[in-house]
Each structure stands twice: as structure tokens, then as C-alpha cells.
Structure 1
């Protein structure tokens, strides 16, 4: 297993790879357009994970860098899963200086609870205070 190199430099991101994964393989963004992916990357703190110079992992945080952050689009491409890269990526996210002191850090996951629990994420303490507008098939319209 090669070591994972992690960068927050947007210029290093393999945006076509990110777009392909999100639009074709993710469980949350199938059908998303390239324009939306580009805009999301432009307006987020992004983490690229690289092995031997090839991007194999991604995560982004939507944040004000002061009080709140929302973690989204966390993935490792299938052929690199099972090597601990998701944990390495999450360690980098959680130790980023601009994110360490956030009052609230949220995420939504359908299948990776165990990974995120290792980094302190838990069900909301007061779920009755949370509300959302959710359109799960918006990219397929």
C-alpha cells in the first residue's frame, strides 16, 4: 500500500474524476452536472487524496471557517478501498487548522456511520431542532 498524499490545493484536483464518480457512482449525486460540481468545488474547502500522483480520494467541506462546517462528497474510488485511505483523508479533514474549532460540524451518510463515528460524529443530540429541504432526485430531473 502506497501512502496517501493529501492536499487542499484546488489546482491539483482531478475534477473530471470527481465529476465522473459523483455523477455515475455515488449514492447521493447521480446525474449531477459538471457545472454544479465545478461550482461546489469553487465554493468549498476541498481535500484531494493522491497515491503515486493519481487522485483516488476526495472530500469537501462547506464552511464559514468560524462556526460551522458541513462535510460532503467523501469518497475513495472503488479499486483503492480497504486500505485505510478514508481514515487518512478524514484525519486530514478533522485536523485542518480552519476546521478544528468549529462549534458545529455536520454530515449526512447512508452507509459510513462507523467511519465517521471514529472522528466524533454522532446522531444529533437534539434532532427536533434540525430541519431540512431535501430533493434527492434533483440531478435526475
Structure 2
């Protein structure tokens, strides 16, 4: 069964770092169901558990998924290194934007595997999301939203995505309060007349 992402009008994009084996891409053909489910099974992703493969595939392809990848050395040639595929990459992170591709985005499932943290990959990942979901790239975008927990993550999203805290949800089942954050890219925040 083949899934076509609903944002087919938004061409997949890839971001590379000079002199690095890491890259970020929205190309759905690179997504690894197995790697994402393996990450979901780990304790550091306390908010999610593994899904049946068909469910996860639909979830990932029904959103705009930003994968974080590491090129693996099994690539036989420079051409293989320049043209990443599921065969010559390892998925090590993800950010999923649930979106209509025009006016709205809900950011969820953001992670970089702990063994790859400390390289600035998480910040770079969210900056790539911010670039795509900006007024410059999506002129009709009205809102970007997310849920998070601790103060450090609230400050992180406020700085990179210009998110503002708009509400709380008490979650005794996960032992933390969730914070609802929202940004209105390109909105004039100096006036209160706009009720979008």
C-alpha cells in the first residue's frame, strides 16, 4: 500500500551541514518506520509508545515529517553519499508537523536520539521546521502550535519559533503539566484588533 503525503504540493527539502554526516529532510521516502518505533519504545520519549507499523506509516506520511539522518559509511560511491536513500542513511531524529499545508501547523514528536544529542541537531531540526512554517514560505500560515512540559523546552520553543504560552493542561497520568504554546507567524503582535 502506497501513501502520498497530503502536502504533495510542498516539494520535499533537504538541509545539509558542511563537513557533516548529518542532514535533515522532509523526503518521505527516507522515513524509517522501524527506527521511529524503536525510538518510541525508549524511555526518553515518555509521551509516546510504539505503534503498529501501518498506523505509524499513516501517521508519518499524513503529516509533514522532518527526519534527522546520519549518512552511513556503507555508501559505495560519492553519488550514493550525495543522493541519500533509506539504504545509506540511519534515522536518528524526527519532528512531525500535523498540517493542512497552508494555514496551520501542530508540532509534535520532536526528538533526537540521546546518543546524538550535543551536536546542535535538535536546535537545527526546529530551525528547519521554523523556516518551512514561516510567513515567507507559507504566506497564508495563521498558527503554529505545540504542547511541551518543562521551562527549558518552553524557552527553547519561544526563542526559535516565537511561541507564546497560551494555556496549561494538568496530566497526572504522565506526572507533569503540559503547556500549550502558539505562534502566529508574521502577525502584528503590537495590535489586538486581529482576531485570527
Q: Normalization by structure 2: what TM-score? A: 0.58
Instruction: Mark the runs of 5 or more structure 2 residues left unpaired by the alignment.
Output: 1-18, 72-88, 136-140, 175-196
Give, in angstroms, the shift of residue 3 of structure 1: 5.3
Counterpart of 1:123 (choices 165, 168, 175) is: 165
| Alignment match, 1:86 | 122
Question: How large is the RMSD of aligned CA atoms in angstroms?
Answer: 2.4
| Distance in 2 (alpha carbons) for counterparts of 1:31 and 1:15 | 10
Instruction: Mark the runs of 5 or more structure 1 residues left unpaired by the alignment.
Output: none
| Distance in 2 (alpha carbons) for counterparts of 1:23 and 1:43 | 21
Q: Which has the larger Rg?
A: 2
Q: Does 1:108 align with 2:147?
A: yes
- Identify the structure with the greater helix proportion: 1
Counterpart of 2:55 (choices 36, 59, 67) is: 36
* Preserved contact between residue 37 and residue 50 of structure 2 (Cα < 8 Å): no
Aligned 1:1-141 pairs, distance under 5 A: 2=20, 4-25=22-43, 26-52=45-71, 53-96=89-132, 99-101=133-135, 102-111=141-150, 112-119=153-160, 120-124=162-166, 127=167
SS at match of 2:41: helix
How many pairs are equivalent? 128
| Distance in 2 (alpha carbons) for counterparts of 1:109 and 1:36 | 23
